[in-house]
Amino acid sequence: MKNILIPLLLILFSSTAESQSIKTRVLKDNLFIPWEIVYGPDNHLWFTQKNGFICRMDTAGTRTDTLLYEPTTATIKETGMLGMVLHPDFIAHPYVYVAWEYLQMPDSIITERICRYTYNFAANSLSERFVLIDSIRGHKYHNGCRLQIADNKLFATIADAANNDNPQNVNTINGKIIRINLDGSIPEGNPIYNSPIWSWGHRNPQGLVYANGKLYSSEHGPNTDDEINIIKPGRNYGWPMVRGYCDLPAESSFCDSTEVTEPISAWTPTIAPCGIDYYDYTLFPQMKHSLLLTTLKNKHLYCLKLNEDGTQITESKIINEVNHGRLRDLCISPDGKIFLTTSNSDPNGGGPYIDKIIVLESAESGTDPRNDFLIYPNPAANFIHINIPDNEEKLTYTITSEASGKRFYKGTLNISFPGIDISELPTGTYCINIANGKNIVFSQSFLHLR
């Protein structure tokens, strides 16, 4: 066993001055392990629940809709409705990609499937299941299943299904990170001809994000060496021959002969890293140019500061304001707010559902946004309605196209006239700015469908 706590160049601390700028608030509770959370282009939170549900919620937590329920979803230990990602051009292609497990009959074999569903804006539901990859060997442990779209390709983490023979065997996709086209076909340029495999030698990667032109992944080690990796095509990440760095004699020999790519960070004792995202917003300037990492065992949110080119981690901070138990995933809104999901319910579905969605906001941001502006519905068809705080007067609004910047509407608002007729707008994405005098007090994007 290695005696590495964390690379010596990292500094693990929490700054009191920075801590004063963060507050947390529970948006939604009584959930069953929301495994994935995504901030959608409709300014809503999309999330899976492990027991087969895909849901959509406004960012104030006032309304949650079930978009889909897959009753055949397996919920044994680490199986379930897991990773999810939305198509990058969601208006033209309203596709939702999801990874989940079911029991393949007649032998009840745990099997993983990656599917695409189509979102119906009018019905606010998902349908038209299209299977991209099926019959992936699953297990009650080690399924991976984090999804990411980059350069119009779908990446997915496929864990080793608790079998150490899989990661170094390029004839199976277990223990790999795969890359496929958005229609499920195999792209040109993959390292192995006619194979979805992008990299191999993985144990159980449960975090994936594309940033700085790089694909970052978090990965569970065994009893040592949890990892953060930069994923490169055709590279071997060592498992089970290598744990963490190539710093033991047997590991060094294997690394030299197979060109193993070492992690940019490793933890012993383990922290059980999970969802990962990239933060580069002004709301929390102390987190800019960092990877944010949720952890299960350590129950912390980590801020991993990157060097200028994003190839190394220079600092590691624990965000001490987050004290909600095991943390499963996170996403970030365009204004820099951070949304977290917990993982505290019994994974088999026994007992009460006790998980939450939590938002991290600036401590100086004011009151609960339930009392602030709220635009609905989103997507919209003929009208958008606006909840206006009681203390706001003399408000004006403008509606502009996000694609062209062209201004379509301008007018005044008050509490007695909260609706705007947008029936003549072409289909597209728009931004509404609300101002009090010369100061913009609210800005939000919305989708319009004619």
pLDDT given at position 415: 60
Which range among 268-277, 364-373, 398-407 shows the weakest confidence by mean pLDDT?
364-373
Residue (of 332, 329, 352) closest to 342 by Cα position: 329
**Residues pairing with 332 in the sheet:** 338
SS3 385: strand
In the prediction, which pLDDT does 405 show?
Answer: 84
pLDDT for 175-218, tens place per residue? Answer: 999 999 999 999 999 999 999 999 999 999 999 999 999 999 99
Q: Name the residue with higher pLDDT: 442 or 255.
A: 255
The strand pairing partners of 209, in sequence order, are: 216
Within 13 Å of residue 278, how many CA atoms lie on the same side as its CB?
16
Whether residue 62 is predicted with pLDDT greater than 60 in this model: the reply is yes
**Token pair of 49, please?**
């629940």
| Residue 24 bridge partners (DSSP) | 360
Q: Work out the end-to-end distance of the chain between its first and last CA atoms, rounded to an integer number of angstroms.
A: 62
Residue 314: C-alpha distances to residues 7, 12, 264 (Å): 9, 10, 10
Q: What is the pLDDT of residue 391?
A: 59
Question: The domain 12-362 is classified under which CATH number: 1.10.3720.10, 3.30.9.10, 2.60.40.1180, 2.120.10.30?
Answer: 2.120.10.30
Q: What is the pLDDT of residues 111-147, one digit of tens each?
A: 999 999 999 988 899 999 999 999 999 999 999 999 9
User: Are 160 and 200 contacting, i.e. CB atoms less than 8 angstroms apart?
Assistant: no
Q: Which residue has the higher pLDDT, 424 or 172?
A: 172
**Contacts of 416 by beta carbon, 8 Å cutoff, 6+ apart:** none
Cα separation, 149 vs 147, in Å, equals: 7
Contact 180, 196 (CB under 8 A): yes
**β partners of residue 268:** none
Task: Band the pLDDT of 335: cuts 50, 70, 90.
Answer: confident
- Domain ranges in the chain are 12-362, 372-448
Read off the pLDDT band of 418 (50, 70, 90). Answer: low
Q: Considering the chain, what is the average pLDDT of its residues?
A: 90
pLDDT for res 390: 58
Render pLDDT for 63-84 as a digit per residue (tens, 0 to 9). 999 999 999 999 999 999 999 9
Residue 158 has pLDDT above 50, yes or no: yes
Please indicate whether the domains covering 12-362 and 372-448 agree at the CATH topology level: no
The answer on pLDDT for 10 being more than 90 is no
CB-based contacts of 192, cutoff 8 Å, min separation 6: 170, 234
pLDDT of residue 412: 85
What was the pLDDT predicted at 416?
A: 59
4: confidence class by pLDDT, cuts 50, 70, 90? very low
Q: Is the peptide bond before 269 cis (omega within 30 degrees of 0)?
A: yes
224 with 247: CB under 8 angstroms?
Answer: no
- Of the CATH numbers 2.60.40.3080, 3.40.50.360, 1.20.1250.20, 3.40.50.150, which one belongs to the domain with range 372-448? 2.60.40.3080
Q: Quick one: which of 406, 420, 417, 414 has its CA closest to 436?
A: 414
Strands 313-318, 12-13: pairing is parallel
